[in-house]
Structure 1
Amino acid sequence: MINPKKPKIWYGGDYNPDQWEKPIWDEDIRMFKLAGIDVATLNVFAWAKNQPDEDTYDFGWLDEMMDKLHANGIGVCLATSTAAHPAWMARKYPDVLQVDFHGRKRKFGGRHNSCPNSPTYRKYASRMAEKLAERYKDHPALLIWHINNEYGGAGNCYCDNCEAAFREWARARYGTLDELNRAWNTGFWGHTFHDWEDIVLPSGLSEEWAGANGRTETNFQGISLDYIRFHSDSLLDCYKLEYEAVKKHTPDIPVTTNLMGAFKKLDYHKWAKHMDVVSWDNYPRFDTPHSYTGMMHDLMRGLKDGQPFMLMEQTPSQQNWQPYNSLKRPGVMRLWSYQAVARGADTILFFQLRRSIGACEKYHGAVIEHAGHEHTRVFRECARLGEELGKLGDTLLDARVRAKAAILFDWENWWAVEMSSGPTIALRYVDEAHKFYDALYRLGIAADVVSVEADLSGYDLVIAPVMYMVKQGVADKLEKYVQAGGALITTFFSGIVGESDLVQTGGYPGELRKLLGIWAEEIDALLPSQRNRIVVPDGAPGLRAEYECGMLCDLIHSEGAEVKAVYGDDFYRGMPALTVNKFGAGEAWYLATSPETSFLQDWLSQLCASRGIRPLVRTAPEGVETTLRSKDGQDYLFVLNHNEDAVSVELGDRSGVDLLTGRPIDGGKAELAGRDVWIVKLHS
């Protein structure tokens, strides 16, 4: 469990008493106790309050609040407050200020407004973390450290400090200019570097420009890809400085920082190696597909080999930064909270506990709304959930999600795919991964979302959508997985480049060619208005005769792979659209185009059945989500109804007792109310 001082699913969230007068504090704690709140995150943005000048530190308010919370049975997730530097620091030490994409020096303002390679920022941030650790190392309320907040939430920095650090980063990565010139393909356009000092950051002043659909375009993908790696590493170095500062004094207190799901700027697989527990902030829109939220939970869980994670933030109802800030309908907050628990969360925390009265988050929801009392719909729903989590106790803590299918997700591949100068601006890496995840979700089949570094031996099916970049050793790893009996699926635009975004010559899909038993001659990019067809031979079980496809169409030739479907139109009519290659004891599939969603559901249903991968329940209508967590030999089946109305669910050969109501659930049909959940402790 995250910390044995609090052996239950933690319940609470961000609390900002520093924004309020003291008479409010006692009223807040009274209401926290009514709601079952037992953890508060403090000090997230209090750096300026804690350090009014270079030499003065004042933690009096924090001392008082730590003591007050502990006296009332509430533990503390203590943040280091370093996500926004104080105004005095920006005035006295302008090196902390970022320089933007167009070369303009920022002034003080906003948050995440610090240059990650500023010596001043690094010195004072790590010093603040250490002073907090020295002060509170023995405080009984301290449960976990929360470093900074939502790293990377502002623009990248292009200052002189970053440019100098980028040169050193590149020198460490490549060793010699000859190797750097090779990796960056600098013979193109006469870019060969003869001195490290000649290297400049890729920005709006050099290699990059703002393209369509919010993309950044670049002349040199290799340079820009390395800058993204460097920026992620720079912020990680800042995190590690604070991590080491608090660990020096509190080696047994876990440390985290809140991630943001599929956040493009930071390589979370790399970050997770330096986190004791993964935490993340979940803010779906009113219309976000439930499967997408599920995939984000699974992505976060997969960062540390399936270890349970923290839901660090969600809103009790409304959120304030989206174009249409809809209320969460009655029951939705509770349902979405249990969705997080179902997929591995061991905490349910909110932003925020009391709603702010000013600035840009004053209309962001809170447990205590502007009304200031407990007689609100939101508070009643929060109190109900708090009571239920209290009754669950430690039953689900450390329970693991079990899946026989996995989707490979790789940040560097994501960067490279969407930085490519072609073949289409319609290609979105996360969307392609979600298409497969959603198909499995609708089939009731669990899937982990894991790194290319993960151990694949426990999976019967591995899906690698758009594996454009094949990293060193990955092709060999996939060959061994399939040879041992696994089934691999990869798709169009795969096996194109290596880690420096240099094309693997000799024919696509490069290093995957032997495994897949194909080679790709050309790649056709279809306009949004254009479609082709996947034509399936008669007799293919569970599949229709044809399906629509589009966006990209690889023109492939079999080199031993069996052709399972072909294109129906255009000059490549009759060429393979879907192939499978027997390789050792397993099989490797190649889907050469982007199909309509029904194809993925039909195809994956048949493929999973052939691999012995079955849905968790016998029948569940659209909008019903199922997952399974296991602990000490006991299985817990979660069934969540995202529909507004009641539905009938049939568990099949499973039965048990719902932990929330004590009601027996047998294998026959049973009614699950709208926006309700079962947590079924299954009979063995």
Structure 2
Amino acid sequence: MPNLSDATRARLLFGGDYNPEQWPEETWPDDVRLMKAAGVNSVTLGVFSWSELEPAPGERNFGWLDRLMDLMHENGIGVVLATPSASPPPWLGRLHPDTLPRDADGRIELWGGRQHFSHSSATYRRYAAAITEDLAARYGSHPALTMWHINNEYCTFDYGDEAAERFRNWLKARYGTLDALNTAWGTAFWSQRYDTWSGILPPRHAHYMKNPTQLLDFRRFTSDMLLECYVAERDIVRRHTPHIPVTSNFMPLWIGQDAWRWAAEEDVVSVDLYPDPRDPLGAQQGALVQDMTRSQARGPWMLMEQAAGPVNWRGVNHPKPRGLNRLWSLQAVARGADAVCYFQWRQSRQGAEKFHSGMVSHAGERGRTYQEVKQLGAELAAIGPHVSGSHSTADIAVLHDWHSWWAGVQDGRLSTEVDYPAVLRAWHRALWEAHLTTDFAHPEHDLTGYSLVIAPQLYLLTDAAIENLIAYVRQGGTLVCGFLTGVADEDDRVRPGGMDARLRDLFGIRTLHEWWPLDAGESVSCDGFDGTLWSEEIEAEPSVTETIPYKGGELDGLPAVLRKGRAWYVSTLPEPDALRELLTRVAADAQVRPVLDGLPATVEAVRRGDLLFVLNHGREPVTVPVPGTHHDLLTDTTVQDEVRLDRYGVAVLKP
């Protein structure tokens, strides 16, 4: 299959969503002039253009897109051509109400926004396939076409009648018989046993808490139905253009997609990334998403969307300070991106996103935003030949699984204070602040290439995943698991003993007596640090190698952290400094070290191929030790033993 290198051709793609139908055609030549001045070499067309392309059922209006495709090609700008199926025209919902999704309360989600489609609607799928077929037939051989972009940010849940029928068929394929389903769902509880398939519904509004495994399966089903929509359109464009790579953009850590499974169906893995510029941990959030996307891609990936300035959907939408857009863009390149793109090219004057920034803001070409975009475009062009197609590597894997997340967010859980993404971020933050680069992996992936594996929280683990972790440790790997790991099987059935017996033996846990969740703001004292969110009443085996005990309270003297050989279990969430210190120690024991020693706290250093990226996330200048002689590709200067970085400064060093 084609991949990102087929589109980049030993350069970094730079550009963004271009929505020229929002503007008079007279502005298009000026857009091209500004694009060329900024080094833009790629634009995405047609993402939200369905009503423009098909103004009435079956009618086609391609003339404007013909002219745009030709204009881009004449000016050396490649086109990522989107199928417009994320935002159906109003006439589709009006004429075919069955294409509209329903929420869990049975309310129809009408047109007037976007993503107003039922993934299960045969009518929607038919119309989406038809417009995709015509786009692929018309533009498949156009020389401007470099990539296909299917839909946009798939994120629709549907509880309607057609979705209910497809859900039943999905369950039949998964379980085969009603007896197997009843066993998996534990329907003996609350007299929920089903005697006919037709009695099964999506988890709609109920009087009290819903069946947790029904909810888990509905999330699995939703991810699969959306994936079916993607694959159907992908296969159409592939039939016309087997040499052109295909993508669809993920939202980072969105709960509705099993992105491990989705990534396997994409030629290019792409993501949209919008950290808050006021968030002191915004760079760490970016690093987490970049590490996860690189791991899903198993190599270079595409930053499909970011903001050149403010967004418009937070309570208060702050602009990016000078230099931050450049810094975060180059951070993405350091962590594997071969494409740096934005939503959108020109800031809209009308519509719901008129206050969402563009590469060309309302201030125009003299505005700071566009001037910074020009600088970044020139720098990406300079480093592209040295970095495009190369890989970032890591000796640490952080384990993440959507099914475990889905199972862990049931209504009847022990603590709503435990938020899975927040726990994942806390553990990744500890590694990032220790200057340790990480991959992400599924718990059933081959882990043998990693010296250290971290499982922040895997509430649900399959038997295959458990055996994989045990085999990893037996083969000499170091494993650290956080609290609430290995509690349930794939049907969300609590394993005997509250944790799988194989894992208890691995960690040296004789008995897990009780879980002790903590209130908001509450902490528990341990020997040398405080724990937050959670604690557990654990009785250790005599065979454990090391323990760190709780101090005071009900758990006084019992192990908060215990280690048996190379397997660690952490039954609370240590405060940030303590978690960083613990993981730094464990990493050192596993022979994992930062790329550079002696880094200032605000500096991130990442190696990609033979290049060393050094990024200052602080607002004050710093001097960073970089032993040896290097060539800084951004300044075209020689660096000897140290490099000075201004606020938000970056150096890209080649030996």
| Band of TM-score, shorter chain | over 0.9
Query: Residues of 2 paired with 1:312 and 1:83: CA distance?
Result: 16
The residue number in structure 1 matching 2:572 is 593
The residue number in structure 1 matching 2:169 is 168
The residue number in structure 2 matching 1:316 is 308
Pick which of 171-180 and 359-368 moved more: 359-368
1:395 equivalent in alignment to 2:395: no
Shift of 1:532: 1.4
The secondary structure found in structure 2 opposite 1:395 is: helix
Shift of 1:665: 2.4
Letter in 2 for 1:26: P
The residue number in structure 1 matching 2:555 is 572
Q: Which digits, 9 at most, give the CA deviation of each residue in 1:433-458, with x for residues without a partner?
A: 22121111111111112222322111
1:303 equivalent in alignment to 2:276: no
Query: Residues of 1 paired with 2:391 and 2:5: CA distance?
Result: 14
Q: Which digits, 9 at most, give the CA deviation of each residue in 1:416-436, with x for residues without a partner?
A: 112252211110111112212
1:676 equivalent in alignment to 2:649: yes
User: Are the equivalent residues in 1 in contact too, given 2:302–2:340 (CA < 8 A)?
Assistant: yes
Query: Residues of 2 paired with 1:364 and 1:225: CA distance?
Result: 35
User: Are the equivalent residues in 2 in contact too, given 1:516–1:589 (CA < 8 A)?
Assistant: yes
Letter in 2 for 1:346: D
Letter in 2 for 1:67: D
Shift of 1:525: 1.4
User: Are the equivalent residues in 2 in contact too, given 1:579–1:589 (CA < 8 A)?
Assistant: yes
Q: Which digits, 9 at most, give the CA deviation of each residue in 1:107-132, with x for residues without a partner?
A: 32210000000011101111111111
The residue number in structure 2 matching 1:127 is 130
Letter in 2 for 1:189: W
- Alignment partner of 1:666 out of 629, 640, 645: 640
The residue number in structure 2 matching 1:541 is none
The residue number in structure 1 matching 2:286 is 293
Pick which of 569-578 and 187-196 moved more: 569-578
Letter in 2 for 1:555: E
- Alignment partner of 1:637 out of 596, 599, 612: 612
Query: Residues of 2 paired with 1:341 and 1:648: CA distance?
Result: 22
Unaligned runs of 5+ in 2: none
User: Are the equivalent residues in 2 in contact too, given 1:114–1:121 (CA < 8 A)?
Assistant: yes
- Sort the Cα spacing of 1:596 and 1:5 in 2 relative to 1 into closer, same or farther, 3 A: closer
Q: Which digits, 9 at most, give the CA deviation of each residue in 1:74-124, with x for residues without a partner?
A: 000000111111111111111001111211123322100000000111011
Shift of 1:394: 2.1
CA RMSD across the alignment = 1.4
- Sort the Cα spacing of 1:304 and 1:6 in 2 relative to 1 into closer, same or farther, 3 A: closer
- Sort the Cα spacing of 1:461 and 1:517 in 2 relative to 1 into closer, same or farther, 3 A: same
The secondary structure found in structure 1 opposite 2:533 is: strand
- Alignment partner of 1:547 out of 521, 526, 529: 529
Pairs aligned (count): 648
Query: Residues of 2 paired with 1:269 and 1:82: CA distance?
Result: 23
Q: Which digits, 9 at most, give the CA deviation of each residue in 1:205-249, with x for residues without a partner?
A: x376xxxxxxxxx43110011011111111111001000110010
Query: Residues of 1 paired with 2:274 and 2:521: CA distance?
Result: 32
TM-score by length of 1: 0.93
User: Are the equivalent residues in 2 in contact too, given 1:317–1:333 (CA < 8 A)?
Assistant: yes
User: Are the equivalent residues in 1 in contact too, given 2:8–2:338 (CA < 8 A)?
Assistant: no
Pick which of 158-167 and 615-624 moved more: 615-624
User: Are the equivalent residues in 2 in contact too, given 1:461–1:487 (CA < 8 A)?
Assistant: yes
The secondary structure found in structure 2 opposite 1:65 is: helix
TM-score by length of 2: 0.97
The residue number in structure 2 matching 1:341 is 333
- Sort the Cα spacing of 1:225 and 1:4 in 2 relative to 1 into closer, same or farther, 3 A: closer
Letter in 1 for 2:556: R
Query: Residues of 2 paired with 1:46 and 1:670: CA distance?
Result: 47
Q: Which digits, 9 at most, give the CA deviation of each residue in 1:241-294, with x for residues without a partner?
A: 000110010011000001111111111111111110100111111233111210
Shift of 1:364: 1.0
Letter in 2 for 1:607: V
- Alignment partner of 1:441 out of 416, 432, 435: 432
The residue number in structure 2 matching 1:538 is none
User: Are the equivalent residues in 2 in contact too, given 1:147–1:256 (CA < 8 A)?
Assistant: yes
The residue number in structure 1 matching 2:80 is 77
1:364 equivalent in alignment to 2:361: no
Where do residues 161-560 of structure 1 align in structure 2 (5 Å cutoff)? 161-204=162-205, 206=206, 218-288=209-279, 289=281, 290-305=283-298, 307-372=299-364, 374-419=365-410, 421-518=412-509, 519-535=511-527, 546-559=528-541, 560=543
The residue number in structure 2 matching 1:113 is 116
User: Are the equivalent residues in 1 in contact too, given 2:549–2:561 (CA < 8 A)?
Assistant: yes
Query: Residues of 1 paired with 2:644 and 2:577: CA distance?
Result: 27
Letter in 2 for 1:602: E
Letter in 1 for 2:555: Y
Shift of 1:370: 2.2
User: Are the equivalent residues in 2 in contact too, given 1:649–1:671 (CA < 8 A)?
Assistant: yes
The residue number in structure 1 matching 2:39 is 36
The secondary structure found in structure 1 opposite 2:135 is: helix
Letter in 2 for 1:662: D
Shift of 1:611: 1.5
Query: Residues of 2 paired with 1:311 and 1:445: CA distance?
Result: 22
Letter in 1 for 2:616: N
Query: Residues of 2 paired with 1:371 and 1:488: CA distance?
Result: 52
Shift of 1:529: 4.1
1:651 equivalent in alignment to 2:626: yes
Letter in 1 for 2:35: F
Q: Which digits, 9 at most, give the CA deviation of each residue in 1:634-667, with x for residues without a partner?
A: x111110111220121124x54211111222233
Q: Which digits, 9 at most, give the CA deviation of each residue in 1:581-600, with x for residues without a partner?
A: 12xxxx11001111111111
Letter in 2 for 1:558: A
Letter in 2 for 1:308: P
- Alignment partner of 2:28 out of 25, 28, 47: 25
The residue number in structure 2 matching 1:59 is 62
Q: Which digits, 9 at most, give the CA deviation of each residue in 1:450-483, with x for residues without a partner?
A: 2223221111100011221111301111111100
Pick which of 414-423 and 32-41 moved more: 414-423
The secondary structure found in structure 1 opposite 2:463 is: coil
Q: Which digits, 9 at most, give the CA deviation of each residue in 1:177-209, with x for residues without a partner?
A: 1110000000000001111011111121x376x
Shift of 1:670: 3.2
Query: Residues of 2 paired with 1:79 and 1:278: CA distance?
Result: 15
Q: Which digits, 9 at most, give the CA deviation of each residue in 1:612-654, with x for residues without a partner?
A: 1111112121221111111xxxx111110111220121124x5
Query: Residues of 2 paired with 1:176 and 1:531: CA distance?
Result: 47
User: Are the equivalent residues in 1 in contact too, given 2:444–2:464 (CA < 8 A)?
Assistant: no
User: Are the equivalent residues in 2 in contact too, given 1:303–1:451 (CA < 8 A)?
Assistant: no
- Sort the Cα spacing of 1:427 and 1:507 in 2 relative to 1 into closer, same or farther, 3 A: closer
The residue number in structure 2 matching 1:562 is 545
The secondary structure found in structure 1 opposite 2:387 is: coil
Q: Which digits, 9 at most, give the CA deviation of each residue in 1:515-561, with x for residues without a partner?
A: 222131110112224321111xxxxxxxxxx1111321111122322
Query: Residues of 2 paired with 1:312 and 1:23: CA distance?
Result: 27
Query: Residues of 1 paired with 2:49 and 2:522: CA distance?
Result: 54
Query: Residues of 2 paired with 1:4 and 1:144: CA distance?
Result: 7
The secondary structure found in structure 2 opposite 1:325 is: coil
The secondary structure found in structure 2 opposite 1:384 is: helix
The residue number in structure 2 matching 1:211 is none
Quote the sequence identity (%). Answer: 38
The secondary structure found in structure 1 opposite 2:163 is: helix
Query: Residues of 1 paired with 2:358 and 2:111: CA distance?
Result: 28
